[in-house]
């Protein structure tokens, strides 16, 4: 039975409070309610404080959870030639992806896509579409509008498109080696496209946002480039060559107006660049160039005052270099002047001149022309020269006529331009330079040496006995030097396999442009008189190129014979189409 005590409030009647177990229960319940109320109040205060802190904070972090991959691409500036004609640009393209969770019939999707993409990896795609946790699978990026429409017409659930940027080349394979190519993310990986990423700058984008940068202007001239490529292709067919290469270079500025290597590559199909036969022979390969190197040897002897053009040299006896004997193809029965050594392309004569100069002066002259060290251009590093390990008598002799040393054609063309422009260093470039670009104030060679080289190069084309007479072009004074080099092989040189080349300059009264043509392993045909020598194939090819590009470069023919070909009225189109006799 419960007991009660009486509590008398101040000024009031006594009140009763439960005693015993019931009283304790009531007191504990009130205490718990008080604690819970305090806890809730503290929690609300904490939340309110956090909200106030975030409201007053200037740092915001936004996170999102995505079920699909966001592909980063690159917006690239256009590439144009020296006259502003388009060579490369970004276009909007559709890229195909799949959401595996929405694909109803994987086999149907794989089968129908394989009918559109024969190279599709069906096993890998079926595996990707079978993943229960994937929401995004790339299938093919950078589709043409026609291909995207074909896929859309299939009506397959789970397939969709995203807009991205894709690189387009309006000229197709034109200047493909120079332009290079990009990868699937539109990032440059070779050629001038890589230069854009590394130097000019590209913009990382998501989707199909075009770049706002100004176009990048190359030194190339599309018209000249097309003419060179077409004439080289004709020469390959005419002389049954395995390949060809050609360069057109501004002798004063070093600007490359054309650079062609056949077989060519399509910049829109990067896989073509993996074919060894399609390597860029102009910049990415080195070759023993043969007798065209004699212009360097003669220039070295003249510049060091070892000889003059009229100095007579006894070339009647062969030279011995170690276990090798050097002879001339058409031995002379009398001593030859230095000019005749150049014109008749005497190996013995070139060897004698190099021996007279000695190893130190010979090597120093090659170093001065930057023929012994690697160089770099906007399309990447030029293949490094392969030079002798030591400079003994045998190396001096063989190097004098272009064997035992291998350089990239572009590097040799730059050195030859230096010999022709008065001795000012030429650094090849694929970017258009300003007309007032700085030049070396001190020439690398004497101006008189350059004059002599121009004189004998012109004579080599006009002289009936000159090896370059088939490069003569009416209306355009041409000078040049031939080179027929044996190709190294296992255990020696290949039999009946040569590189025939011709280095030309015009107009020779004041040379402005250099043209260098190389034919790889040409055969003796009816057009070459059954011979493989450069004078019968590379020289006439260079002449046809000069005949075509002269008007394109704004050079008018100067002789009456050229005017007569157009009824004494200059017609650039007719002159460009005129074929050699």
| DSSP output for 245-293 | EEEEEETTT-BEEEEEEES---TT-GGGGG-GGGS-TTTS--B--GGGG
Comparing C-alpha atoms, which of 429, 510, 511 is closest to residue 253? 429
Measured CA to CA, the distance from residue 234 to residue 231 in angstroms comes to: 5
Q: Which of the 8 DSSP states describes residue 536?
A: G
Q: What angle do CA 290, 291, 296 make, to 5 degrees?
A: 105
Residues paired with 233 in a beta bridge: none
Angle between helices 222-239 and 538-552 (to 10 degrees): 160
291 belongs to the catalytic site: yes
In whole angstroms, how large is the CA radius of gyration of the chain? 39
157 and 102 Cβ atoms separated by less than 8 Å: yes
57 and 43 Cβ atoms separated by less than 8 Å: no
Task: Give me 106's structure tokens.
Answer: 């994987």
| DSSP output for 425-476 | ----BSBPPPTT----SS-SS-HHHHHHHHHHHHHHHHSTT-TTGGG-BTTB
Q: Which residues of 426-438 are buried (b: 16+ CB within 10 A; e: fewer)?
A: bbbbbbbbeeeee
Among the options 291, 345, 400, 450, which is catalytic? 291
What does the CA dihedral 212, 214, 216, 219 come to, rounded to 10 degrees? 160
List the catalytic residues: 291
């Amino acid at each position: 039975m419960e007991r009660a005590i009486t509590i008398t409030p101040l000024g009031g009647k006594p009140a009763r409070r439960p005693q015993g177990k019931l009283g304790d229960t009531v007191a504990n319940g009130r205490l718990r309610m008080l604690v819970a109320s305090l806890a809730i109040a503290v929690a609300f205060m904490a939340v309110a404080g956090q909200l106030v802190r975030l409201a007053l904070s200037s740092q915001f972090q936004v996170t999102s959870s995505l079920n699909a991959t966001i592909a980063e691409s690159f917006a690239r500036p256009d590439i144009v030639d020296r006259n502003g004609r388009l060579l490369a640009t970004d276009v909007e393209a559709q890229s195909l992806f799949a959401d595996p969770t929405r694909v109803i019939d994987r086999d149907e999707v794989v089968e129908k896509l394989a009918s559109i993409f024969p190279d599709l990896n069906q096993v890998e795609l079926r595996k990707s579409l079978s993943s229960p946790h994937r929401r995004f699978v790339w299938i093919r990026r950078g589709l043409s509008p026609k291909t995207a429409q074909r896929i859309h017409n299939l009506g397959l659930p789970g397939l969709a498109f995203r807009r991205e940027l894709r690189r387009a080349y309006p000229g197709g394979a034109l200047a493909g080696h120079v332009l290079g190519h990009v990868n699937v993310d539109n990032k440059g990986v070779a050629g001038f496209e890589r230069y854009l990423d590394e130097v000019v700058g590209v913009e990382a984008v998501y989707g199909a946002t075009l770049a706002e940068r100004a176009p990048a202007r190359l030194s190339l001239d599309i018209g000249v480039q097309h003419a060179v490529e077409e004439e080289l292709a004709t020469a390959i067919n005419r002389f049954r060559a395995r390949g060809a290469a050609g360069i057109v270079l501004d002798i004063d500025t070093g600007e490359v107006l054309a650079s062609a290597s056949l077989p060519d590559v399509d910049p829109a199909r990067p896989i073509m660049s993996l074919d060894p036969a399609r390597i860029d022979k102009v910049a990415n390969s080195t070759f023993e160039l043969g007798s065209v190197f004699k212009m360097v040897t003669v220039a070295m002897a003249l510049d060091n005052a070892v000889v003059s053009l009229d100095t007579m040299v006894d070339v009647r006896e062969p030279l011995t270099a170690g276990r090798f004997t050097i002879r001339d193809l058409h031995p002379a029965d009398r001593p030859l002047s230095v000019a005749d050594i150049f014109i008749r392309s005497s190996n013995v004569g070139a060897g004698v001149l190099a021996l007279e100069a000695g190893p130190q002066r010979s090597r120093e002259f090659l170093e001065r022309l930057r023929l012994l060290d690697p160089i770099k251009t906007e399309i990447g590093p030029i293949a490094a020269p392969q030079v002798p390990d030591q400079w003994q008598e045998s190396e001096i002799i063989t190097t004098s006529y272009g064997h035992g040393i291998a350089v990239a054609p572009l590097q040799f063309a730059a050195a030859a331009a230096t010999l022709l422009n008065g001795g000012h260093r030429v650094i090849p470039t694929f970017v258009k330079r300003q007309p007032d670009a700085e030049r070396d104030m001190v020439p690398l060679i004497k101006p008189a040496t350059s004059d002599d080289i121009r004189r004998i190069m012109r004579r080599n084309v006009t002289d009936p006995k000159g090896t370059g007479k088939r490069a003569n072009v009416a209306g355009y004074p041409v000078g040049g030097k031939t080179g027929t080099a044996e190709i190294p092989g296992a255990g020696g040189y290949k039999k009946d396999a040569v590189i025939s080349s011709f280095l030309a300059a015009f107009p020779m009264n004041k040379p402005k442009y250099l043209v260098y043509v190389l034919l790889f392993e040409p055969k003796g045909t009816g057009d070459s008189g059954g011979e493989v020598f450069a004078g019968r194939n590379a020289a006439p090819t260079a002449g046809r190129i000069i005949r075509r590009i002269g008007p394109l470069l704004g050079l008018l023919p100067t002789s009456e014979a050229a005017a007569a070909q157009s009824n004494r009225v200059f017609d650039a189109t007719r002159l460009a189409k005129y074929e050699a006799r």
